[in-house]
Structure 1
Amino acid sequence: MSEELTTEFYRGWAGTRLALHRMGSGRPLVLIHGLFSSAAINWVKYGHAARLAAAGFEVIMPDLRAHGMSEAPHDATAYPEDVLVTDALMLARHLGLEAGGFDLGGFSLGSRTATRAVLAGLEPRRLILAGMGLEGLAGWTKRSAFFLDAIARYGTIKHGDPAYVAQQFMKAQKVDLIAAGHLLGSVDDTPPEQLGDITMPTLVICGDVDQDNGSAPRLAQALPNARYVEIPGNHMSSVTQKELGQGIVDFLA
C-alpha cells in the first residue's frame, strides 16, 4: 500500500542512531519536524504524509536527534554547532539524494534546519518552509532562551504562564530535558542577507494567527523565488489542519 509507514535507522553525527520513517513511492520528499515534536506528530498523525503519498511522493521523515524514536545523547559533545544540519546532510548522503532530485521541507525548527541545510549545500528542487517567519530565522537566541527557561522551571510552571504550553507539550512528548537543553544551544541563526542564496522555488506556509517565529509574509518577500500561503491556526494548531498537507501538495504539483 502506498500509505504504509515503515521505519528504519541511520547514523548521524558522531554515530547517533536516528530514526527515519517513510511512506509512499515516487519522487523523494524529505520533511523535517519541529522542536519537541516528531515525524509521527507533525507529518503522520494528521494525514499530511498520507495525502502527499497519495499524490505520488515518497515522503521521507526523519526524527531529529533527541526527538521521537531517535537517540538522545546526554554528552554535550554530541551537539556541536548546527548538528541538525550535519545530520540532514548525512541523511541526504545516506539516501543518495542528488541535486534537483528531491524536495525538502520543514515545520518550525524543521524549517530552520532545511534553510540552513540549503545554505550548507543541499540542493532540493523545491523548498517548503512551514511555521516560520523572517524574524524567527535570525532570532534563535531569544526563542531558545524561552525554551531553556521552560526546561529550567519544568514541573513548576502554572497555567497562565507564557511557558505553560511548552511545558505541557514537553510532558506529552516525553522530551529528554538534558538532551533538549544541549540541542537548543546547537542551533544557529540565519541572517536575512543570506536568504538571497536560496533561489529554488519556495513555499512559505503558515497559520493565519501564527506569529511565534515572526512574519511569514515578510519571509516570503525576502526570498528570491517564494510564494506565501496562509492556512488556519496558530503555531500549535496549524499542524493539525488538512490545509497544511494540501498546500504542500498543490505547491509541489
Structure 2
Amino acid sequence: MTGLRVVIVDDEPIARQALRRMLLDFSDIRICGEAGSVDEAERLINDTRADLVFLDIELYGESGFDLVPRLDSKTAVVFVTAFNQYAIRAFEVNALDYLLKPVAKDRLAQSIRRRRKQQKLQPRLTLAQDLSLEDVIFVQNGKRRCWLALKKLCLIKASGDFTVLHATDGISGMVWRSLRQWEKLLPQDQFMRIHRGMIVNVNYINAFESVSGQRLKLYLTGLAEPCIASRRITPQLRKLLL
C-alpha cells in the first residue's frame, strides 16, 4: 500500500513534535513537513500533495478553518485541538475526524484507518460540487461519525439547521446542509423533493397509496415509516410512478 503523505499544522512546536512522534509508529505514514500558520501550511500541503493534514484550529490569531477552503478536495483534514466546542463546525466542513488533545493513540489510529478506507473507495467528499452515485457522505450519528453511500441514500429530512439522511442499509446521520443545497447537489433524475421538508430517492419507492387531500403516501426501501408527498407534487409523482 502506498504510504500516506501527512502534514502537521500546529502553532506549538511541542504539540507538533508529540504528534510526529506518535505518527512514526505507523509504517505507512510519510511525514512531509510541519507548519505553524495558514499561509505556510497551504504552501507546504500544495507542494507535497499531502493526502492527510492534522490541523490545529487556533493558530496565533488565525483559524485552521481558514485553511480548509484553500485545500484541494482530495486532501483530507483531521482537526486536532484542545477545545471541543468546534466539533459541529468541523463536521460542517466535512472534516475526516476531530481529535482532542492530548491525542490518544487509538483515536489517531482510527483517523488513519478512515483515510485509508477513503482512498480505497475514492469518494469525493466535498459538498461544493455536484455529487454522483459513487460518492460517500460523512455524517454524524450521535457521538459517532460514519460513512453513508449516496447510492443507498433513500431519504433526506429537514431538521432545523441540519438535514437527517437515511440509507437503505440502516445507516443514518446528520449533515449541516439545507434541503435547497441538497437539491442543487444531487442527481435530479433520481432525487425529488416531495414537500418542503423532505427529499426522497424515487428509485427506492417500492409502494404507494392515495390518502386524503389528494396526496400520496410513499413506502421506501429500508424505512419503517411512510412519507407523505404534498398535494402540489403528487401529480408529478403519479406520472413518474404509474
Taking structure 2 as the reference length, the TM-score comes to 0.37
Report the structure, 1 or 2, having the larger helix content: 1
Taking structure 1 as the reference length, the TM-score comes to 0.36
Report the structure, 1 or 2, having the larger strand content: 2
Bigger radius of gyration among the two: 2
